[in-house]
Structure 1
Amino acid sequence: MWGLVFVFLSLALLFYLFFLKRELRKLKKDIRALPDHSSFGSRLYLDFRTKELLELVDELNEMIDAFEAKNQQTKQMEENVKVSIVGLSHDLRTPLTAMNGYVQLLQTTTDDKKKAHYLPIIEQSIKRLLDMTEHFYDLARIETNQKDLELRSLLFPKLVEEIFLDYYEQFEDKQIEVRFPEQIDSQRIIGDKLMLIRVIQNLVQNILRYAKSKAIISYQSDHQYLILRVENDIKPDSKIAIEKVFMRFYTEVTSRTNTESSGLGLYLSKQIIEKMNGKMEAKLQGEWFVLEMYIPLDRMDV
């Protein structure tokens, strides 16, 4: 009797060890094949199911998911860089071509009036090139997670007003009326001051390029965000595709003839605000372009 039991247990153990060894060989083979055949969502599976093996496979699948997510992120970053380089190189041609042409005219003319006319155009082209390279540098650092934000408590409406006032003469030249709320919101936000300055400057440049005659600044708040609302009327010849305004290198439907903008401004601004745990949205309301920026409130100040 006991002999039969021993034989049965021995056979059961042998079968268990056989299937376990077979499953481990299969698992080893599948793991080796992962680099050649894996795609996002690849998983390891078992035919012979034991608690210990299932726990091991679950751990391995978590590692695979983490690796593939990182790999997918890297591929997306590489694709973003390629798109950015193509778009930037396309947009760099316009100011470079203009600059080259006017430099040649400057070298060949002896007319002082023409020289005085050419020099500001060349200076403007140089400034535009510098702005575009700064945008691209900021964008590259943000998208590759090399830019660490210094988040601190700020009185945001005051910062917005100060930056808009820096552009007072340009608004006057363009005959654009800017309206601020009579009462400045005193709620504080959490953000990176230098990056927020870049964002507000981008918003100002957007108004200067596309506004017809008015821009209205207002604020709202909820339990989580301070909301900056920027509205401007649209020039009659503007053709804004609202679903594309946050795409990199987008300016307008006819924007490839636009010599004033690289199309990185709103895209970069959205990336910065989202990195601060906020969000940015845009919409058209009749003949008005409306942009809303949500920035986290300082909870200690609420």
Structure 2
Amino acid sequence: MGGTTGILIAAVFLLVLYIVILQRQIRNINRQLLKRLTLDTKQPVSLQLINGELNKLTSNINKCLKAEETLRLESVREEKRFKELIANISHDLRTPLTAVKGYQQLLQTSELTKEQKKKLQVARKHTEELGNLIEQFFEYSYLINADPKANTEPINITNLVTECLAESVSSFEEHCIEVKLHEAPTVFAMADQGMTVRIVRNLIRNCVAYSAGDVYVAITASENAVISFKNPVKNAAVIDAARIFERFYTGDKARSKSTGLGLHIIKLLCEQMEGKVSANLNGNELTINVELPLYK
């Protein structure tokens, strides 16, 4: 009887020891996976286990990690090729467009009939629209390839936005849009002046192109300096405010005059200055907010 009890005790002891060893090995796997995630290492999980099933599990984990790394590298290569494609397209389109504009200017100085002048004016209008689209491609290719650094300094956001609106008065009038600027105390931000000007001009272009009514602009200060543009939009039902800053996103797929890059460029520029963007669609009113670090 005593011998049987001794055997049972030994068996239980060995079983507990076996479980402890397995737990230690599993913890080791977790530590290696955590290290791979936090330190971004590419080292495979390496263990010598006494359990065949756990050995198979470790092998399958390594296969999954290798497949994931292969996909990641391919994604990086695809993104690089895409950036080069965008840069080449924007450059290649600029050259013939410049020539087209030159010939249009020559025609403008020629003796034309009233009908010919009217057709030339239509052609010049479409050429300008094409030029704006190409400029967006060019600006986007510059941002993603050159990765410019923000030279932040205290700037008067209120004056900057006001000046950009003033230089765009003719564009608003051409589209019968009235701009209403909310009066508030002057706001200063820590930002790059050139980048901020490009942000505001892109916001203005977006309003001119897609606003279905008057535009309301506000510059306020909370935790950050906030630039807000609010305007009614057509086809509000097809606009997804959560995706509005995505690359190439256009709410209305039938729109043929948009690259879907304008708001994405705003997001890129804002993030380079440690700011953030947001959008809210309330009924048919779209509000776009750009937040930049507040200068106190």
TM-score by length of 2: 0.64
* Matched residue, 1:242: 241
1:73, distance to aligned residue in structure 2 (A): 8.2
* 3-state SS of paired residue (1:290): strand
Taking a change above 3 Å as real, the CA distance of residues 253 and 86 of structure 1, as seen in their structure-2 partners, is farther
Letter paired with 1:272: L
Identity within the alignment, %: 22
* Matched residue, 2:294: 297
* Matched residue, 2:167: 166
* Matched residue, 2:131: 130
* Matched residue, 2:53: none
Taking a change above 3 Å as real, the CA distance of residues 127 and 256 of structure 1, as seen in their structure-2 partners, is same
Q: Determine the C-alpha separation between the residues in 1 that align with 2:292 and 2:172.
A: 26
* Matched residue, 1:146: 147
Taking a change above 3 Å as real, the CA distance of residues 46 and 182 of structure 1, as seen in their structure-2 partners, is closer
* 3-state SS of paired residue (1:153): strand
Q: Which runs of 5+ in 1 are unaligned?
A: 1-39, 49-66
* Matched residue, 2:58: none
1:218, distance to aligned residue in structure 2 (A): 1.5
How does 1:194-273 map onto structure 2 within 5 Å? 194-223=194-223, 225-235=224-234, 239-258=238-257, 261-273=258-270
* Matched residue, 1:117: 118
RMSD: 3.9
1:76, distance to aligned residue in structure 2 (A): 6.2
CA contact (8 A) 1:178 1:215 kept: yes
Q: Determine the C-alpha separation between the residues in 2 that align with 1:271 and 1:242.
A: 17
Q: Determine the C-alpha separation between the residues in 2 that align with 1:271 and 1:165.
A: 25
Taking a change above 3 Å as real, the CA distance of residues 146 and 85 of structure 1, as seen in their structure-2 partners, is closer
1:214, distance to aligned residue in structure 2 (A): 1.2
Deviations 1:4-23 (A, max 9, x none): xxxxxxxxxxxxxxxxxxxx
Which stretch of the first structure deviates more once superposed, 241-250 or 288-297? Answer: 241-250
* 3-state SS of paired residue (2:132): helix
Q: Determine the C-alpha separation between the residues in 2 that align with 1:292 and 1:251.
A: 18
Taking a change above 3 Å as real, the CA distance of residues 237 and 86 of structure 1, as seen in their structure-2 partners, is farther
Deviations 1:75-110 (A, max 9, x none): 364265278479979xx7xx98xx79x98xx8xxx9
Q: Determine the C-alpha separation between the residues in 1 that align with 2:141 and 2:254.
A: 23
CA contact (8 A) 2:151 2:191 kept: yes
Which stretch of the first structure deviates more once superposed, 230-239 or 159-168? Answer: 230-239
CA contact (8 A) 1:233 1:289 kept: yes
How does 1:175-190 map onto structure 2 within 5 Å? 175-183=176-184, 185-190=185-190
1:268, distance to aligned residue in structure 2 (A): 0.7
Q: Which runs of 5+ in 2 are unaligned?
A: 1-39, 49-68
Q: Determine the C-alpha separation between the residues in 2 that align with 1:247 and 1:256.
A: 16
Residue-pair matches, total: 230
* Matched residue, 2:62: none
Taking a change above 3 Å as real, the CA distance of residues 211 and 238 of structure 1, as seen in their structure-2 partners, is farther
CA contact (8 A) 1:210 1:238 kept: no
Taking a change above 3 Å as real, the CA distance of residues 217 and 256 of structure 1, as seen in their structure-2 partners, is closer
